[in-house]
Amino acid sequence: MDVGIMNIQIVKWFLDLGMGISFLVSFITGFFKFTFLMRMFGLVDLVLPLALMSDVHDWSGIALGFFVAIHLFFNRSWIVSMTRRLLFYNKNPQ
Protein backbone atom coordinates (compact mmCIF):
# COMPACT_ATOMS: atom_id res chain seq x y z
CA MET A 1 0.00 0.00 0.00
CA ASP A 2 1.28 3.44 -0.90
CA VAL A 3 2.31 5.59 2.06
CA GLY A 4 0.36 8.60 0.71
CA ILE A 5 -2.85 6.60 0.46
CA MET A 6 -2.38 5.17 3.93
CA ASN A 7 -1.87 8.65 5.36
CA ILE A 8 -5.10 9.87 3.72
CA GLN A 9 -6.95 6.89 5.21
CA ILE A 10 -5.62 7.73 8.66
CA VAL A 11 -6.63 11.37 8.23
CA LYS A 12 -10.12 10.27 7.14
CA TRP A 13 -10.39 7.95 10.14
CA PHE A 14 -9.47 10.74 12.57
CA LEU A 15 -11.84 13.06 10.74
CA ASP A 16 -14.69 10.57 11.16
CA LEU A 17 -13.74 10.12 14.81
CA GLY A 18 -13.88 13.89 15.31
CA MET A 19 -17.28 14.01 13.61
CA GLY A 20 -18.59 11.26 15.86
CA ILE A 21 -17.29 12.84 19.06
CA SER A 22 -18.56 16.31 18.19
CA PHE A 23 -21.95 14.84 17.24
CA LEU A 24 -22.23 13.01 20.56
CA VAL A 25 -21.24 16.09 22.56
CA SER A 26 -23.69 18.24 20.62
CA PHE A 27 -26.47 15.66 20.96
CA ILE A 28 -25.98 15.10 24.69
CA THR A 29 -25.73 18.79 25.55
CA GLY A 30 -28.71 19.50 23.29
CA PHE A 31 -30.71 16.83 25.11
CA PHE A 32 -30.02 18.46 28.46
CA LYS A 33 -30.83 21.91 27.09
CA PHE A 34 -34.21 20.67 25.84
CA THR A 35 -36.31 21.11 28.99
CA PHE A 36 -39.30 19.12 27.72
CA LEU A 37 -37.18 15.97 27.48
CA MET A 38 -35.70 16.65 30.90
CA ARG A 39 -39.21 16.79 32.38
CA MET A 40 -40.33 13.75 30.41
CA PHE A 41 -37.51 11.62 31.85
CA GLY A 42 -38.01 12.97 35.39
CA LEU A 43 -34.78 14.94 35.56
CA VAL A 44 -36.42 18.10 36.92
CA ASP A 45 -34.35 18.19 40.12
CA LEU A 46 -31.07 17.94 38.26
CA VAL A 47 -29.08 21.19 38.49
CA LEU A 48 -26.80 21.69 35.51
CA PRO A 49 -24.51 24.53 34.42
CA LEU A 50 -26.68 25.47 31.44
CA ALA A 51 -24.57 28.45 30.38
CA LEU A 52 -21.47 26.25 30.11
CA MET A 53 -23.44 23.49 28.40
CA SER A 54 -24.81 26.00 25.93
CA ASP A 55 -21.28 27.13 25.05
CA VAL A 56 -20.07 23.54 24.71
CA HIS A 57 -23.12 22.74 22.56
CA ASP A 58 -22.48 25.71 20.28
CA TRP A 59 -18.77 25.01 19.86
CA SER A 60 -19.28 21.29 19.25
CA GLY A 61 -21.85 22.19 16.57
CA ILE A 62 -19.32 24.48 14.90
CA ALA A 63 -16.68 21.73 15.10
CA LEU A 64 -19.15 19.24 13.60
CA GLY A 65 -19.83 21.59 10.70
CA PHE A 66 -16.08 22.01 10.16
CA PHE A 67 -15.51 18.23 10.21
CA VAL A 68 -18.40 17.62 7.80
CA ALA A 69 -17.10 20.24 5.36
CA ILE A 70 -13.64 18.62 5.34
CA HIS A 71 -15.22 15.15 5.07
CA LEU A 72 -17.19 16.25 2.00
CA PHE A 73 -14.03 17.77 0.50
CA PHE A 74 -12.05 14.54 0.96
CA ASN A 75 -14.87 12.44 -0.52
CA ARG A 76 -15.83 14.79 -3.34
CA SER A 77 -14.77 12.40 -6.13
CA TRP A 78 -16.97 9.62 -4.73
CA ILE A 79 -19.89 12.06 -4.32
CA VAL A 80 -19.55 13.28 -7.92
CA SER A 81 -19.20 9.72 -9.24
CA MET A 82 -22.29 8.46 -7.40
CA THR A 83 -24.32 11.52 -8.36
CA ARG A 84 -23.48 11.01 -12.03
CA ARG A 85 -24.30 7.32 -11.77
CA LEU A 86 -27.67 8.02 -10.15
CA LEU A 87 -28.65 10.86 -12.47
CA PHE A 88 -27.44 9.50 -15.79
CA TYR A 89 -27.84 5.76 -15.41
CA ASN A 90 -30.15 4.44 -18.11
CA LYS A 91 -32.43 1.95 -16.35
CA ASN A 92 -34.14 0.83 -19.54
CA PRO A 93 -31.50 0.35 -22.28
CA GLN A 94 -32.91 0.04 -25.79
Question: 44-83: buried (b, 16+ CB within 10 Å) or exposed (e) per residue?
Answer: eeeeeeeeebeeebeebbebbeebeeeeeeeeeeeeeeee
pTM of the model: 0.75
- Torsion, CA 12, CA 14, CA 18, CA 23, rounded to 10: 60
Mean pLDDT for 77-81 is 94
pLDDT, tens digit, 9 for 90 and up, residues 8-52: 889 999 999 999 999 999 999 998 887 777 777 777 766 778 888
Question: What's residue 26's pLDDT?
Answer: 96
Q: For position 77, what pLDDT does the model report?
A: 94
